[in-house]
Amino acid sequence: MARIETPRRIRGTQDIFGDEQRRFAHVLSTFERVRALYCFQRVDIPVFESTAVFARSLGETTDVVSKEMYTFEDRGGDSLTLRPEFTAGIARAYLTEGWQQFAPLKITTSGPVFRYERPQKGRFRQFHQIDAEVIGAAEPAADVELLVLADQLLRELGIAEGVTLQLNTLGDAETRDAWRAALVAHFEAHRDALSEDSLTRLEKNPMRILDSKDPRDRPIADSAPDIDAYLTPEARAFFDAVTAGLDAAGVAWERNARLVRGLDYYRHTAFEFVTDRLGAQGTVLAGGRYDGLIGSLGGPETAGVGWAAGVERLAMLLDEPAAAAIDAVVVPMGADAEARAMGIVADLRRAGVAVEMAYKGKIKARMAKADALGARFAIILGDDELAKGVAAVKTLGAGTQAEVAFADLAEALR
């Protein structure tokens, strides 16, 4: 008979279980709690979109669009792409669902995103992001609110220590044009030493050379002119308002004049929360202002600002999370007790008691299970107890035992 080969997990995907799952869930529940404090609404958007949604808004020459997208033709012949990030899909929904009426719209979402990248520690092909956006607010107050939200999230996760907020401005359109010309002049003068990728970037989006990780590009990127000399008074005032807001809110930040974002649509504020605790994958949360994005999707010029963070990277920084506590394990002894236990367990769960039933193995194994699960109580049901209509409730830490009538069990366990 032919041997059946077991299918393998796809490279760069994860089966998130146990301890890892607890970390993961803790990041998401903390985000859910903090976003409510900041009065952000939750939205859910599709996992796939028309390819154009990402290609147009992220920019054809970005790494994500040119190399990392999962793009396929569906059975109807349409080109679809698994979302590589949230912002473009949210901007599409803002336009197609008439969300303009809610502007300024403060929203968050979370879920899987997909990028064809080389998998390594903290880098997956299906990973998860949490995401926060403010659409329809051109005021620096929106940038500040999002950054303070990010900071509070990191604090509440207990990982703010050792994570630094790096902040930059990419200016307004006038600033960018002037700075871009200065960058091109600088990079042209060093063309011979640039990597092939950066020669392409030089044609399409020279700013992105500043972001290059190629060691050949680093010295040239590091000696490139800063944006500061080109900032218009308006762009300077915007940046000053953001930093003043952060100072007022007690959020520490550092200027990083080399910080540009990988995507084309950014204006003004650009930021990353970085740590050296994750090796090369040190950016945990990143974002900025994207006033050009909705226009690039054919909508009216609309201001927007937002960020995304990798759930896996945040989870990796967490301290060991505690296993979920359960209240009790029911240990039936014998067939009658097992039948009766079904009803008792169901009643306890309906009364809000977290209870497990040990139905495998000998009594010793069942009691061992109660210990292993870290339950506070073992509820032992034998023939004697059944006859009396009571259960023997053992307090596991103390080793004490008491008889409790079935009807009083839920109360006694609380």
Closest approach of ligand ATP to the CB of residue 235, in Å: 22
Select 166 or 344, whichever has its Cβ closest to ligand ATP.
166
Stretch that binds ligand ATP, among 18-26, 305-313, 326-334, 371-379 (CB under 6 A): 305-313
Select 85 or 151, whichever has its Cβ closest to ligand ATP.
85
Distance of alpha carbon 232 from alpha carbon 263, whole angstroms = 22
Distance of alpha carbon 366 from alpha carbon 329, whole angstroms = 9
Contact 209, 221 (CB under 8 A): yes
23 near ligand ATP, rule: CB under 6 A: no
Q: CA triplet 147, 153, 159: central angle to 5 degrees?
A: 110
Closest approach of ligand ATP to the CB of residue 54, in Å: 12
Closest approach of ligand ATP to the CB of residue 251, in Å: 18
Select 122 or 321, whichever has its Cβ closest to ligand ATP.
122
Closest approach of ligand ATP to the CB of residue 404, in Å: 50
Select 54 or 124, whichever has its Cβ closest to ligand ATP.
124
In the window 257-276, what residues touch ligand ATP (CB under 6 A)?
262
66 near ligand ATP, rule: CB under 6 A: no
Select 110 or 169, whichever has its Cβ closest to ligand ATP.
110
DSSP annotation of 66 reads I
Select 261 or 340, whichever has its Cβ closest to ligand ATP.
261
Q: Which of 262, 10, 14 is CA-nearest to residue 121?
A: 14
Select 207 or 285, whichever has its Cβ closest to ligand ATP.
285
**What track of x and - describes contact with ligand ATP for positions 67 through 96 (by CB under 6 A)?**
------------------x-----------
Contact 176, 292 (CB under 8 A): no
Distance of alpha carbon 391 from alpha carbon 388, whole angstroms = 9
Q: Which of 61, 106, 63 is CA-nearest to residue 84?
A: 63
117 near ligand ATP, rule: CB under 6 A: yes
Closest approach of ligand ATP to the CB of residue 80, in Å: 20
DSSP for 365-400, please give it: HHHHHHHHTT-SEEEEE-HHHHHHTEEEEEETTTTE
Distance of alpha carbon 44 from alpha carbon 47, whole angstroms = 9
Contact 254, 232 (CB under 8 A): no
Footprint on this chain of ligand ATP (rule: CB under 6 A): 85, 115, 117, 122-124, 127, 129, 262, 281, 283-286, 308-310, 312-313
